[in-house]
Structure 1
Amino acid sequence: MSDKLFSEFEGVSSKQWKQQIQYELKGADYNETLVWESPEGIKVKPFYHSDEAGQPLPVQSPKTAFSIVQNIFVHDLEKSIARANETLNRGAESIRFTLENDQADVEKLLTNIPTNVPVYFYFEFLNPDFIKKIDGIAAKRNATVFVEIDPIGQLAKDGNLFANVDSDFTVLNDLAKSCQHINFLSINAALCQNAGANIVQQLAYTLAHANEYFNRILAIGKPITIKVAVGTNYFFEIAKLRALRLLFNTLAKEYNHTFDCHIVATPTKRNKTLYDYNVNMLRTTTECMSAILGGADAVANLAYDAIYHKDNEFGDRISRNQLLVLKHESYFDIVNNPSDGAYYIETLTEQLAEKALALFKDIEKGGGFITQLIEGTIQRKIKESADKEQELFDNGKEILLGTNKYPNKEDRMSHDLELYPFVKINPRKTLITPIIEKRLAEKMEQERLENEKQ
């Protein structure tokens, strides 16, 4: 139909477009005026054309994949069950429980959730008997359950493994053999993004992280869950998720694995602000859009007040409704592979994947992801990237509205802090220096809070 519709118009080549643009620039340099370079070293052109586009990349993002996730911290079991079912009645499609310890009655927790609702479990301990119990309950109920176990991510975030490398991977190999009904393995890729890593680093580190598991676990039979934080660079973030799936599948094939990864996306914390906090809703909306268009299997939105308020009904409802609007009113769940054929996104996907693959190969030559964590190489590279971004923010070149651009000087927040919104210092003995998540606005916000006291 498109050929018939447009066949009467003469095509305009890429060369003709460039000639016209150069004419309109009246002598100004095309590259210096219109081409900009991203922190990843990608030169972004003012237009992309079919003349310069290759074949669409083999990245699949079916419309049925987008699931709305509600995060619930389990402290009081009965209240958590009631809250889970209430949120399901109000639009949530899957639940992610965070557990404090292995004393929680997971059978009661799962029994009270409909079997057609996917359930995620997150906890910072490694108890194989507890995980096998969840597997048994999932088998009995024929439920879809993801248990987010990630010893390497624990090392990166906390500075220590659950026990040690040999012990932790012995447990994982045991679980791989005995747990046939749950997805028990995950990768926390969000940590690097929230700490300030650029997109190429995020992709390469996630790939190296996955490669450690492929090398050390002999019988992985289920998809690996990858937790991704989505930043504010709209089209780059779409391309990031597409490149991640492409790279993961390429690596998995090398190990004769046929399963895909399961991507759970959430907005980044890095650009969220304490002051003028309602702007956070705009940020999370575009970040969720990037996640969906990039092909995330599930999206857990971040409440606008998550950095300084405890979980609350209003914040959860607003964040959930943002996703409901995108799904049911903006129809983001209607089209398969919505980014296919967009020359800009296809080009970004390919360039990010190529750069990430090159960095991944360097990491492997250097001994692999765990080795480079122990040596401090990964932490140093992330810090270098974070420092560059922080400098741009401090100089006003990277803008957060309401914070370093058009701040409301009358805004007061010291009375409203239920949570400490800054990096927490916890001196302790660790195997490595952990990767520290830090928001761009922290220093500026601390100064403003101090001025409130005067």
Structure 2
Amino acid sequence: MGNSLFDEFPDISSKHWKQQIQFDLKGADYNETLIWNSNEGIAVKPFYHADEFKTLPPVSGSRATQWQISQSIFVADVDKSNKKAHKLLNRGVERLAFILPSKEVAIDRLLKDIDLASIPVDLYMQFLDADFVKQLTNHSKTKLNIHTDIIGNLARTGNWFSTLKEDHKQFEAIVTHTNSYSIDATLYQNAGTTMVQQLAYALAHANEYLNHLDTVITSEAKQTFKVSFQVSVGSNYFFEIAKLRALRQLWHTLASAYDVNTDCNIMAIPSKRNKTLYDYNTNMLRTTTECMSAVLGGANSISNLAYDAIYHKSNAFGERIARNQLLILKHESYFDKVDNPADGAYYIETLTDELAQKALALFKDIEAQGGFLKQLKEGTIQRKISESAAREQEQFNNGELTLLGTNKHPNPKDRMKDELELYPFVKTNPRKTLIAPIIERRLAEATEQKRLSNE
């Protein structure tokens, strides 16, 4: 029994596989028939082989057995938010994310009776106040995570919270106090960028902070410095797995250059870009595969998107379905049994390497042109995103990119006009901004607006 069952079979090289495939094609061109090119400029082959690697990829550091189910709560009422948090913890949620609209939030009441020693809590502040953060020192030995991203706010709104100087002053004080910061990279995916752009922009975004903080953070603090990336995940299953793996590799490379902690926290959420108003139940299928990609890609925590999030206010049923999707993946589908399930898959390893290399090249180009913040101010980043989004939109309009129930197999009997509790399209709010904001836009918006007008 010590002999391998496959010893009697000869090794087959990638060259032999390709020859057999070409023979089976009976004259059809191999490249035109079986190789397709992604928007990232990656030529995807029909098969991948071990002999295409000079050395086999190392084991990754991802820990899929440790991924956590998260859910966000917008804090409009402190006591109601606390009550909701306890309900969620009793229903399978393992990590809480509170969105704080102002500094008037009573944190002690918000976190009342929550075991902060075992339950990680993320606080996303929609304001900037270093004094508010310092008041949280009572929870310094707990799993309380403060998320601050001033450049992310600039990119999303077109303005600083206050001014460039004041924002950086407040940001520096917060980071010195918490020894952490976060990057909101969800904006780039939801606005229509390619995965290479998402990775490069997230890295360049993070680098702006590292440049600013390099002389502020002590050498001792750098070793425990914590960086979090919030990432949107789309439906290109294997590419999305590779994207998250590439992000870890890229951060490791960048952090090593600054001698800071090379580990990072990745918080994933399904993309809004491909979600639809009509045939909305297909959104559940999309978010399921997107959450699967997030797990296999090595996300630390996942917060699912409700199937009706684009047109309904937050509601118990939609949130329950979204939460149950994650519970099924974790407890019934064995998605928490293997630490690094994507390791060794030649296709995924190749995609990871190609995405990382292309993103690193784009990152270097951004830095050579003055950095991410400079290109934001000049409008270069916005222009590049608009070009990528327009190309993807054209693919959707032409049927090359399919959203079932919307541009393929639509149900003409669907009626949604009376279901809208939220405005599901891009809102126009003319105002003065320092830079052109990056706008999130769904692929199906124009199609849906036309259908609504015809109901």
Q: TM-score, normalised by structure 1?
A: 0.96
Structure-2 residue corresponding to 1:167: 166
The one of 342, 345, 350 equivalent to 2:348 is 345
Distance in 1 separating the partners of 2:71 and 2:110: 15
Report the secondary structure of 2:226's partner residue: coil
Q: How does 1:374-453 map to 2 (within 5 A)?
A: 374-452=377-455
- Structure 1 distance, partners of 2:397, 2:385, is 18
Q: Deviations over 1:42-81 (max 9, x none)?
A: 0000000111134214531113431000111111212111
Q: Report what 1:195 is aligned to.
A: 191
Aligned to 1:121: 123
Shift of residue 179 of structure 1?
3.0
Cα displacement string for residues 432-454 of structure 1 (whole angstroms, at most 9, x for unaligned residues): 000000000000101111111xx
Question: What secondary structure, in the 3-state scheme, does the structure 1 residue paired with 2:155 have?
Answer: helix
* Counterpart Cα distance in 1 of 2:441 and 2:403: 15
1:70 aligned residue: 71
What does residue range 19-58 of structure 1 map to in structure 2 within 5 Å?
A: 19-53=19-53, 54-57=55-58
Which shows bigger deviation, 232-241 or 252-261? 252-261
Distance 1:361 1:2 in 2: 51
Q: How far, CA to CA, are the matches of 2:19 and 2:280 in structure 1?
A: 45
1:7 is matched with 7
Q: Is the 8 A contact 1:232 1:287 kept in 2?
A: yes
Distance 1:126 1:33, change over 3 A: same
8 A Cα contact 1:58 1:246, kept in partner: no
**Quick one: which amino acid aligns to residue 388 of structure 2?**
S
The answer as to whether partners of 2:185 and 2:202 remain within 8 angstroms in 1 is yes
What residue is the counterpart of 1:103 in the other structure?
104
1:374-408 Cα deviation digits (max 9, x unpaired): 00000000000000000011111111000111111
Unmatched 5+ residue regions in structure 1?
none
Q: Quick check: 2:79–2:109 contact (8 Å CA) kept in 1?
A: no
SS at match of 2:382: helix
Selected match of 1:210 from 206, 209, 234: 206
TM-score scaled by length of structure 2 = 0.96
Q: Aligned partners of 2:58 and 2:254: how far apart in 1?
A: 16
Corresponding residue to 2:330 among 324, 327, 332: 327
Separation in structure 1 between the aligned mates of residue 34 and residue 259 of structure 2, nearest angstrom? 44
The alignment covers a number of residue pairs equal to: 446
Equivalent residue, structure 2, for 1:269: 272
For 2:3 and 2:9, how far apart are their aligned partners in 1? 10
Q: How far apart, CA to CA, are the structure 1 residues paired with 2:261 and 2:225?
A: 9
Q: Which residue of the partner structure matches residue 95 of structure 2?
A: 94
Q: Tell me, yes or no, if the aligned pair for 1:186 and 1:224 is still in contact at 8 Å.
A: yes
Q: Taking structure 1 as reference, are residues 145 and 26 closer, same or farther at Cα in structure 2, changes over 3 Å only?
A: same
1:147 maps to: 146
Which residue of 113, 132, 135 corresponds with 2:134?
132
**Separation in 2, partners of 1:8, 1:34:** 31
Which secondary structure state, in structure 1, belongs to the residue aligned with residue 239 of structure 2?
A: helix
Percent identity between the aligned chains?
59
Q: Which amino acid aligns with 1:52?
A: E
Could you list the runs of 5+ residues in structure 2 that have no partner in the other structure?
A: none
Letter of the aligned partner of 1:411 in structure 2? D
CA RMSD of aligned residues (A): 1.3
Q: Is the 8 A contact 1:107 1:137 kept in 2?
A: no
- The one-letter code matched in structure 2 to 1:34 is L
